[in-house]
Structure 1
Amino acid sequence: MSSEKIDAIHDKSSGQGVDGKISVSVQDAESQDVHINLGQPGQILKLDKTGLPLVPQPSDDPSDPLNFPQWLKIAILLQVSFLALLGPLNQATINPAFVPLAAHFHVSTVVASYQTTIAIAFAGIGSFVWVPLANTYGRRPLLLFTTLIAAASSLGSGKALTWSQLIATRVLNGLGTSSFFTLGAGMVSDTFFLHERGRAMGVFTVFLTNSAHIAPIPGGFLGQFVSYRWCYYLPAILDFTMFVVMFFCLPETLYLRGSTPVVTDKPILRRMKLWGLRPAGKHLKASDFFRQFIMFKYPTVLLTAFYYSVTFTLSSILPAVTSATLFRQLYKFNASQTGLALGLGTLVGSTLGELLGGIVVDRSMYLSRKGKKDGEIVPEVRLQGIWAGAILQPIGLLVWGFCIQYKTPYIGPTMGFGIMCFAIQIISTVVYSYNADCYRPQTPEIAQVLNFGRQTVGMTTGFWAIPLGTKIGFQWMAVTMSLVGIVTFLPVVYFMFHGKTIRDKMGAPSYNRSL
């Protein structure tokens, strides 16, 4: 970075605060676009490899997650990403095996899908408990605890002897896995700088999105050739395996900015403790369980979350909960064939979408900052990367609906799956990255809003999808749902041009600012 650019940044500093530290607000601090803490007076501004200021500025504490070596950051990203994959995997592995499940419990295949719907619903509720606890006691102990809940409840689902027992264990499984989506996103934000966050969030969301697409592949073969019970046993085994890996390999990333560094010659090893890392002065209060609802009042969070929830439901959950029934009726597919058709098509689409999504959003942010003298950061730049997903999502839905209605060869709806999942991966990466940039300290709460919306909207799919398509025709259902997706996208377009103004008027949340 040139001396002129550094001088320009320092010229915009707000001087010494009450703690004697110098800070820079690249934009209005109330908008929380960027608030760079420069540390003590005279401390050198830390830059990235392109010469732009690191955002956020890391402390001099070696146990600060921003100062972790890159290999450890990648290890953390892979662990929380795989954990995010296990969430929908717990819920969706059974989907291709609805026929044997329904036969065993003497219910219809539509009713059999309700146990997935219930798990999805409670996966949207549980995080309202886990996030406040994790913000006080740490991400690591909460993730370990909830992973054990997920493993035990999934094992219990496989052992269930009655329908009511199965439903009860699925409720517990949804509650346990709910932390995987929210706390994992918080750990990504804790660890990576702004210029890395888009790609890191892209990796996280590709695991999250692809989980429901991978799940039908083993689920179909297990349901057909072994037993539907193994569609629950497999996630239980993977949950427990992940618990062991995280116990030995996942450090705590909760860190209070401005806290006094703890003198130790093994800072990373210290972060592997299960307790004793609670930030000084941080105590759990009843109000902490209600603070997370504050994020619902911010239009940029609420409306982008609603658009994401609708498109995720139509692009990922809709194929997952309807394929077992429709592919059996139309193509006489067994469980393993349904799993392969659903899993491979969606997996290829999501993977290709991630190759485009994460790179594009990070590159657009870099070019935007590079072109400004003071390195000004406007998160709305991220939203420009959403166009490919927004255009392709309704196209894929229409391909799926018309192919189902007119009984084309199975490759038709499978191509529709792939297009939709290509689109939703781009949408997911952009929405997660944009909101994390707008309100970084509140990333877990934002992930909670996204998770709650996705799970709440998605849980309804099993109740209306096949009945609606049967009544009005799957082609008209696809047209209707495509129009719904386009309407919910309109606020996102508005935010591209006026999002900063809206955020400036709303101000920034007052809690978690030191995280």
Structure 2
Amino acid sequence: MTTEKSCFDDTSSGQGVEDKATVSVVGDPESVHVSLGVSDSEKSLKLDKTGLPLVPQPSDDASDPLNFPQWLKIAVLLQVSFLALLGPLNQATVNPAFVPLAAHFHVSTIVASYQTTIAIAFAGIGSFIWVPLANTYGRRPVLLFTTLIAAASSLGSGEALTWSQLIATRVLNGLGTSSFFTLGAGMVSDCFFLHERGRAMGIFTVFLTNSAHIAPIPGGFLGQFISYRWCYYLPAILDFTMFVVMFFCLPETLYLRGSTPVVTDRPILRRMKLWGLRPKGKHLKASDFLRQFIMFKYPTVVLTALYYSVTFTLSSILPAVTSAILFRRLYLFDASSTGLALGVGTLIGSTLGELLGGIVVDRSMYLSRKGKNDGDIVPEVRLQGIWLGAILQPIGLLIWGFCIQYKTIYIGPTMGFGIMCFAIQIISTVLYSYNADSYRPQTPEIAQVLNFGRQTIGMTAGFWAIPLGDKIGYQWMAVTMSLVGIVTFLPVIFLMFHGKTVRDRMGAPTYNRSL
């Protein structure tokens, strides 16, 4: 059988050309820690446009996602990024409308915020179901199925007649949207090389981070001028729209490295199948649902996840769950005004943070590789890009807390929002990229750890934020939370200098190494 030349050529995708060099792999062959040097036998390497070896090395299979043309990689990135945006959007659009929501169900505004808290909590739990399924049957069918769950449950929330019905649909919505955060990060890692991954992860995280900031803008207007129900209908419409787009445009990216290339003259269309792409010999086992907890034993993952979860809670979730109450109390803002104040400042901050964050982490990795004759690649280089975010995050939190306590004009806490979101975007980009570089085959499981930490710690904010601030003062709450953030940052500083030693001592995970 003959096969036509595929559009997935390395040269056509702009990834580089094939050249002769020698390579020796240090430690785990799936790790990014690769050194160039003299070896017993020469091996053909594919290089990027700067002459450095592509990491990881793509196969000769046209169906390998690393060989996708650049336009298709960007299309995948945009789709999974928009899907990541829809996760918090499903949960947070109703936040500015807590007052009419509470009035309809005859509960307090604080109790009304619990339906958001519950959705956030189950968004952290559900991924433990979806990741093993996606690693066996493919990312594409699982994402399509969970997007339908999200759409149906969000529609059900808008139609809920009782408080218990609303809570039940919010549980389902959290379970459905949980896959958006974890599988999306895995698909980004499936498609992009090391030198592209920081910027690609940055785009993914800016959508993820900004979602909770964009949501209050339409949510405020819908809650005030139409009905709080439309704060659920809008996400349902967007979920279903995204389902249709992905059904026709999102290819499968699950790929078993070392597998026999499939002879086909239509590799893109083959990757659009809903089934039949399960890696040969791969079967779902009960142990698959348990071994995903293995990533919790790796210090580099757990320590960065702790810092990320704390700072995300304080910089993104805290403003989201408190603004509807505080801005109404201090400034007599209605739902639409609250949505604009919260959304615009945080959106600007996150966008500026991404413009800086993704570029800096990729540039730092490039300069590190270029400056070493042995081509040594150490993921800890990524962590050096976190400093600006780590410094600005507590500053923004303090501005927010003191401005709320001393009742400055609304521009004050809004500036605090913006600075915190600028910082968390840099922090998110750096930590997602660092972990993907450290354990690339386990990227979905790592994203699951980050998501679980973010959702679990974040869900608590709605319970303690307002009572704590009212009791000790918002300025002292901000000081306390800033100190918590600084303490959880100390292990990240340790990893900057000793992360490689820690990873070498722990070894690499033994599962999914062929992905």
TM superposition score category, shorter chain reference:
over 0.9
Tell me: CA distance 1:264–1:31, structure 2 relative to 1, closer, same or farther (3 Å). closer
Contact (CA 8 Å) 1:31, 1:503: kept in 2 or not?
no
Per the alignment, residue 140 of structure 1 pairs with: 140
Contact (CA 8 Å) 2:309, 2:453: kept in 1 or not?
yes
Per the alignment, residue 272 of structure 1 pairs with: 272
**Alignment partner of 1:421 is 2:421:** yes
Q: Deviations over 1:446-481 (max 9, x none)?
A: 000000000000000000000000000000000000
Shift of 1:32: 2.7
Calculate the aligned-residue CA RMSD, in Å: 1.3
Shift of 1:291: 1.1
Per the alignment, residue 293 of structure 1 pairs with: 293
The letter for the 2-side match of 1:233 is: Y
Write the distance in 2 (CA, Å) between the matches of 1:100 and 1:233. 16
Write the distance in 1 (CA, Å) between the matches of 2:446 and 2:505. 19
Contact (CA 8 Å) 1:36, 1:55: kept in 2 or not?
no
**Alignment partner of 1:54 is 2:63:** no
Contact (CA 8 Å) 1:93, 1:216: kept in 2 or not?
yes
Write the distance in 1 (CA, Å) between the matches of 2:43 and 2:471. 68
Report the number of matched residues.
493
Q: Deviations over 1:179-238 (max 9, x none)?
A: 000000000000000000000000000000000000000000000000000000000000
Shift of 1:277: 0.2
Shift of 1:29: 2.7
After the TM superposition, list the runs of 4 or more consecutive aligned residues in structure 1 that deviate by more than 4 angstroms. Answer: none
Shift of 1:33: 3.4
Per the alignment, residue 3 of structure 1 pairs with: none
Write the distance in 1 (CA, Å) between the matches of 2:327 and 2:426. 27
Per the alignment, residue 240 of structure 1 pairs with: 240
The residue correspondences of 1:238-387 to structure 2 (distance < 5 A) are: 238-387=238-387
SS at match of 1:158: helix
Shift of 1:36: 9.1
The residue correspondences of 1:57-456 to structure 2 (distance < 5 A) are: 57-456=57-456
The letter for the 2-side match of 1:33 is: V
Contact (CA 8 Å) 1:401, 1:474: kept in 2 or not?
yes
**Alignment partner of 1:34 is 2:33:** yes
Q: Deviations over 1:375-424 (max 9, x none)?
A: 11000000000000000000000000000000000000000000000000
Per the alignment, residue 16 of structure 1 pairs with: none
SS at match of 1:464: helix
TM norm structure 2 = 0.94
Contact (CA 8 Å) 1:315, 1:424: kept in 2 or not?
yes
Q: Deviations over 1:41-87 (max 9, x none)?
A: 87621000000000000011111000000000000000000000000
Contact (CA 8 Å) 1:310, 1:485: kept in 2 or not?
yes
Tell me: CA distance 1:36–1:369, structure 2 relative to 1, closer, same or farther (3 Å). closer
TM norm structure 1 = 0.94
Write the distance in 2 (CA, Å) between the matches of 1:250 and 1:30. 29
The letter for the 2-side match of 1:468 is: L
The letter for the 2-side match of 1:325 is: I
Shift of 1:89: 0.1
SS at match of 1:44: strand
Contact (CA 8 Å) 1:30, 1:507: kept in 2 or not?
no
Write the distance in 2 (CA, Å) between the matches of 1:366 and 1:30. 21
Contact (CA 8 Å) 2:30, 2:441: kept in 1 or not?
no
Contact (CA 8 Å) 1:432, 1:447: kept in 2 or not?
yes
Q: Deviations over 1:412-446 (max 9, x none)?
A: 00000000000000000000000000000000000
Write the distance in 1 (CA, Å) between the matches of 2:68 and 2:205. 22
Contact (CA 8 Å) 2:66, 2:190: kept in 1 or not?
yes
The residue correspondences of 1:484-495 to structure 2 (distance < 5 A) are: 484-495=484-495
**Alignment partner of 1:510 is 2:510:** yes
Contact (CA 8 Å) 2:369, 2:375: kept in 1 or not?
yes
Identity of paired residues, percent?
Answer: 88
Shift of 1:373: 1.1
Shift of 1:310: 0.1
